[in-house]
Amino acid sequence: MSVPARRGLLLVALVLGVVVGVHVLRQATMSTHYSTAPDSRLVVVIDAAANRSEPGVEIADMVDAQVDVCGLEVARVPDITPVAGTDDHFTVTVQPALDSTDRKQLRGCLEDWAVDHLRLEVRSMEDEVVEEEAGGAG
């Protein structure tokens, strides 16, 4: 293959790679919001770990603070309840459930370094059917 032909082929491959790369990046990062059912609910289980926190500050208080801030990010008022029998596992419930982009945003916010001395890790993020309304409909 001649040198100009090889260069042309390389250029085409390069342009193709850039186009595909931009498309993939766009798909991976673009926010796509859609409405969810009012009775849908998202349950998030988080593990909390505190390191050298201020005296008198409970881990639950710090979790409250971070989860409240993250609620503002996704325009929801989260309901936080400690998992029974543990002091560092919490269940965060938001209703209505979040769309896919907001889920990513909530997970990112929860796992971000927002509150000093606190690190949260999202264990699970599952949709839950509201029992009362589901039962009433049936």
Partner 1 sequence: MKTIAWLVAGITLLAAAVYTFVSLARWEWNRALFFAIVFVAAEVGLGIALVLRRLARVEALVTDLPAPDPGARRALRDTRGEQERFAWLRVDPTEVVGRTNVFITLLVGGGVILSGGAWLLDKLASSTVDPRREQRLGRELDGIAYRPGLLVDEVDTLARPSLDRDDPRVRSFLGTTR
List contacts with partner 1 (CB under 8 A): 28-29, 104-105, 107-109, 111-114
When the beta carbons of 93 and 105 are compared against partner 1, the nearer one is 105
**Burial classification of residue 83, based on how many CB atoms lie within 10 Å of its CB (0-12 exposed, 13-18 middle, 19 or more buried):** middle
Least gap, CB of 110 to partner 1 (angstroms): 9
Q: Which two tokens stand for residue 58?
A: 């409970």
If we measure between CA atoms, which residue out of 98, 95, 67, 102 comes closest to residue 81?
Answer: 67
Helices (H), 40-127: 59-73, 100-111
Cβ proximity to partner 1: between 39 and 112 the closer is 112
Residue 22 CB, nearest approach to partner 1 (Å): 14
Complex with partner 1: residue 70 or 97, whichever CB lies closer: 70
